[in-house]
Amino acid sequence: MFAPVYLDHNASTPLADAVREAMLPWLGARFGNASSRHEYGRAARRAIDEARAQVAAAVNAHPTEVVFTSGGSEANNLFIKGAAARLKPGAIAISAIEHPCVREPARQLVRRGWALKELPVDAQGRVQVDGFDWQASLVSVMLANNETGVLQDVSTLALQVRRAGGWLHTDAVQALGKIAVDFRALGVSAMTLSAHKIGGPQGAGALILDKRVDIEPLIAGGGHEHGLRSGTENIAAIVGFGVACALAMSQPAARREQLEAQRERIERCVLALGGTVFGAQALRLPNTCYFALDHIDGETLVGKLDRAGFAVASGSACSSASPEPSRTLTAMGVPQEQARGAVRVSTGAMTKMQDVDDFCSALAQVADQLRGLRAMAEA
């Protein structure tokens, strides 16, 4: 079977071996419902409690602040809609580069009488707040952008929002496992996490919620997850999430050093080909390179690289069906033609430097081919 070198870890990561082993019993003999009073149920409850503690430890939160969800999208919706339901309609502010699962629920609030404010970003993708009056009850700014990898100064934003009496939520899905993520130090009211970005299973996530914040559940019923997310728990996925968090906390410095070295190698290649690296002057995730080569369409380049044996992306996986240029790059002021050429490479724990070197060679060859075809067409 043909298996391209996988360089799209920001979209999803392979399930870690230790995670798979931990999950397997809960897909077989351990099938109890965690709400049951017998030993099968008690064993399931203990497993969830252990996973909750592991997730909390990964971000310096208390286990009671962890609300398990089906993933990052649900967690983002849970906070935005749940918090808004407890407040009088006011203003919600989000950055111009938020993921659709933040942007769309924020837009839905407009139909309920809320005012939507958008925080602009500079040419490097950093959120700009100068002159913003902070008269917003709810604010959501991602910790790390899923396309550019650019990091935001969330702790400073959180302080400003708290002083104005609002709640700040941050989507930390892309940050967890790549940089240190500290719920307490950031000072946010809520934080979103996802398992499948850190070697865990798809379909598991969490909202980390400060105990002082009151939100309304999206799913009402049996009172699961502190009454905030009813429904029988996906124990196997939750167990896997917990183990993935524990793994993410091991040897973070060595992992970051490896990822940074790989990113630098890719970016030297891109620049040698006359390309542009987006957000290069900002603090970024160590594994993410978002670039464009002049006069080369991003989707075409991704397809050619896939056939050459390298799996990369032309942007966010959740927005890949849209023919429009990246909203993130548009917000950064990148011209549409250049934005349409954007390609994202994101490495991970399984990536070897040889994979990166082979990718760079393939990128140079494919770029030469495409430029040659363009020259012929223009002749």
* Positions marked active-site: 318
3-state SS class at 281 = coil
3-state SS class at 150 = strand
Question: How many Cβ atoms from other residues are within 10 Å of residue 361's Cβ?
Answer: 12
Cβ–Cβ under 8 Å, residues 149 and 174: yes
> What is the distance of C-alpha 15 from the center of its chain?
16
Cβ–Cβ under 8 Å, residues 270 and 289: yes
The residues near 214 (Cβ < 8 Å, ≥ 6 apart) are: 86
Cβ–Cβ under 8 Å, residues 35 and 231: no
Find the farthest-apart pair of alpha carbons in the chain and give their distance in angstroms, rounded: 78
Residue type, 180: A
The residues near 160 (Cβ < 8 Å, ≥ 6 apart) are: 129, 134
Cβ–Cβ under 8 Å, residues 204 and 68: yes
Q: How far apart are CA 275 and CA 295, in angstroms?
A: 10
